[in-house]
């Protein structure tokens, strides 16, 4: 966290890389070795720092209303304050479903469906329900395909805790006040579960990581759990805010060290001090093994260029350019 006084040394624009101070909640060699290689100075989270690899609880404290701290221009942290919108199981599903509906309302071709009503481009998560809220919908779907296996996960837990498989409705009795009426006791956030169709034909399990940065004080290194079935179709299972950085083999350690090196180079380009005021899109050479999928700044520039109010090109609304049929085209993806 920032200093106990609530104040930080003023940013003078002259911070050199050798003076950069870092705090780290994780005692992981793939992180610490990267910091040491750069000549960064280790400090306590309670001291003045420029780069903080924080755990989720520390991020909650930093951005809490009670804390009263405000990050300065030369401070960067490794989590967004609202990262749970993607990393909490029920919120991830809820936001993906909302995204689908929004695109569908806009007539966006990304929301096109096939003759069976399935999304062509957005069918990348298994069919999922929230319990207890969607219990009746789940029962209806279960009875259509009674031989299907489902996997049930608590929304407020991680690392496989509380997960089990379901292939009979009777197995849900412990979450039901009365198995005949499907009335559930009022849930808390910890009591909420997601139940998804179990991918019983996996080809392999893939664990991918991706770096995201848009809030200029924050970035994320998410861990994506992806299962590829025997039809080579990928399914997004969940997203982890704190993917494991523990190394089990020398190859694993080298891979994760290089991953962290690429992440840090994107967030703080080599030879530059942290400064949220400059453009954080790194050069192609600084991307390492990452591919730039979406450039938010470029998309905003495209909107300004094509907005009819600027008299510079064809019309574009706030939700993206439109094709000749009046449908919005996909966003500015690379």
The answer to whether residue 174 scores a pLDDT higher than 60 is: yes
CB 93 within 8 A of CB 315: no
What string of H, E and C letters represents the secondary structure of the chain?
CCCCCCCCCCCCCCCCHHHCEEEECCCCHHHHHHHHHCCCEECCCCCCCCEEECCHHHHHHHHCCCCCCCCCCCCEECCCCCCHHHHCHHHHHHHHHHHHHHHHHHCCHHHCECCCCCECCCCCCCCEEEECCCHHHHHHHHHHCCCCCEEEEECCCCCCCCCEEECCHHHHHHHCCECCCCECCCCCCCCCEEEEECCCCEEEEEEEEEEECCCCCECEEEEEEEEEECCCCEEEEEEECCCCCCCCCHHHHHHHHHHHHHHHHHHCCCCCCCCCCCCCCCCHHHHCCCCCCECHHHHHHHHHHHCHHHCCCCCEECCEEECCCCCECCCCEC
Domains detected in the chain: 127-198 (3.30.1490.20), 299-334 (no CATH)
Q: What is the separation of C-alpha 30 from the centre of its chain, rounded to a whole number of angstroms? A: 21
Q: What pLDDT score was predicted for residue 284?
A: 78
Encode pLDDT of 32-60 as tens digits: 999 999 999 999 999 999 999 999 999 99
Beta bridge partners of 208: 224
Q: Inter-axis angle of helices 250-267 and 29-37, to 10 degrees? A: 50
Model pTM score: 0.74
Q: What pLDDT score was predicted for residue 40?
A: 94
Q: What pLDDT score was predicted for residue 294?
A: 77
d(CA 231, CA 215): 38
Encode pLDDT of 188-241 as tens digits: 555 788 999 998 877 755 556 676 767 788 999 999 999 998 888 999 999 988
- Reported as a pLDDT band with limits 50, 70 and 90, residue 244 is confident
Q: What pLDDT score was predicted for residue 303?
A: 64
Q: What pLDDT score was predicted for residue 249?
A: 92
The answer to whether residue 160 scores a pLDDT higher than 50 is: yes
Which tokens is 144 given?
């259509």
Which positions ≥6 away from 201 have C-beta within 8 Å? 229, 230, 231
């Amino acid at each position: 966290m920032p200093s106990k006084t609530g104040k930080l040394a003023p940013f003078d624009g002259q911070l050199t890389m050798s003076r950069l101070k870092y705090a780290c909640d994780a005692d992981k060699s793939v992180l610490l070795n990267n910091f040491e290689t750069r000549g960064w100075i280790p400090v306590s989270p309670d001291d003045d720092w420029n780069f903080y690899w924080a755990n989720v609880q520390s991020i909650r404290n930093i951005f809490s209303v009670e804390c009263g701290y405000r990050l300065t221009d030369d401070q960067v942290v490794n989590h967004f304050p609202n990262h749970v919108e993607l990393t909490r199981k029920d919120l991830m599903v809820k936001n993906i479903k909302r995204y689908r509906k929004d695109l569908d309302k806009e007539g966006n071709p990304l929301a096109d469906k096939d003759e069976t009503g399935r999304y062509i481009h957005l069918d990348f998560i298994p069919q999922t329900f929230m319990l207890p809220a969607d219990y009746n919908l789940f029962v209806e779907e279960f009875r259509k395909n009674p031989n299907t296996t489902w996997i049930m996960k608590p929304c407020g837990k991680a690392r496989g805790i509380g997960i089990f498989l379901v292939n009979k409705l009777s197995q849900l009795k412990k979450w039901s006040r009365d198995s005949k009426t499907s009335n559930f006791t009022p849930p808390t956030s910890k009591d909420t579960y997601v139940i998804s169709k179990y991918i019983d034909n996996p080809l392999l399990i893939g664990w991918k990581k991706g770096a995201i940065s848009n809030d200029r004080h924050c970035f994320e290194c998410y861990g994506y759990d992806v299962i590829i079935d025997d039809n080579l179709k990928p399914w997004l299972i969940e997203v982890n805010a704190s993917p494991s950085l523990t190394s089990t083999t020398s190859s694993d350690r080298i891979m994760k060290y290089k991953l962290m090196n690429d992440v840090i180079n994107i967030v703080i380009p080599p030879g530059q001090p942290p400064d949220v005021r400059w453009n954080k899109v790194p050069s192609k050479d600084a991307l390492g093994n990452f591919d730039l999928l979406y450039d938010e700044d470029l998309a905003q520039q495209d909107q300004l260029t094509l907005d009819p109010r600027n008299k510079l090109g064809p019309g574009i609304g706030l939700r993206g350019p439109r094709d000749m049929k009046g449908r919005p085209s996909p966003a500015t993806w690379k």
